[in-house]
Amino acid sequence: MDFRKLWSLALMGLKHPSYIWPTYTATRQCIDICNRKFGELHHKNGPENAFRHALWNSLIIYRSLQAGRELEKATYWAKKATDWHEEFSPNEPLARAMDLHNNKVGRDLMQMQPNLDAKTMIDALLLLLQKSEYIDNLDKLKMYKKHLLETATVSLIHIEKKSENHD
């Protein structure tokens, strides 16, 4: 266990104490939703995991807004907290890039639609889940992200083949 990383989490919490409870409740809600909808599949690197990362970021912002925080600060916090998580539990480069991309999709959704209620947010992300793009290498990911920018499109990505149909 890297105590410097744990210490950095403690310092983050001390600097931003008003975000601890919204982040905790968002995390619990996200895991509960994903467990109900997908079972253990959201712990792999398929579309379910892509959905979970986007949902987690959206819910952190959503819960922070409910607690009276400003959108820009809540978005900054969601990025800081979830980037910390990616540093604390490192993945292979492609899996990390996938997680960071999907985290951003969740933050972008809330930036574009900050007044979404939780059900509408989940429904929007479930639609994106249906069209999640399979990416099998970093070069393909870079090209795909460029395509998304050029076409002003939003998409989740995954690095494992789809497991089952999600209705």
Per-residue pLDDT tens digits for 74-83: 999 999 999 9
Residue 166 pLDDT greater than 70, yes or no: no
Distance CA 131, CA 26 (A): 24
Q: Please report the DSSP string for 88-128 in residue order.
A: HS---HHHHHHHHHHHHHHHHHHHH-TT--HHHHHHHHHHH
> How much of the chain, in percent, has pLDDT values that exceed 70?
91
Nearest to 158 by CA among 38, 46, 42: 46
Mean pLDDT for the chain?
89
pLDDT at site 6: 67
Distance CA 163, CA 148 (A): 24
Which pLDDT band, with edges at 50, 70 and 90, does 165 fall under?
low
Tell me the residue ranges of DSSP E strands in 31-80: none
3-state SS class at 62: helix
pLDDT digits (tens, 9 = 90+) for 8-32: 667 777 777 788 999 999 999 999 9
Report if pTM > 0.85. Answer: yes
Q: Where are the domains of the chain?
A: 9-158
* Structure-model confidence comparison of residues 164 and 152, the more confident one: 152
Distance CA 103, CA 81 (A): 11
Nearest to 19 by CA among 70, 85, 93: 70
Q: Which residues contact 142 (CB under 8 A, 6 or more apart)?
A: none
Nearest to 30 by CA among 62, 65, 5: 62
Residue 69 pLDDT greater than 60, yes or no: yes
Q: What angle do CA 91, 82, 120 make, to 5 degrees?
A: 115
Residue 7 pLDDT greater than 80, yes or no: no
Task: Name the phi and psi angles at 156, rounded to 5.
Answer: -80, 160
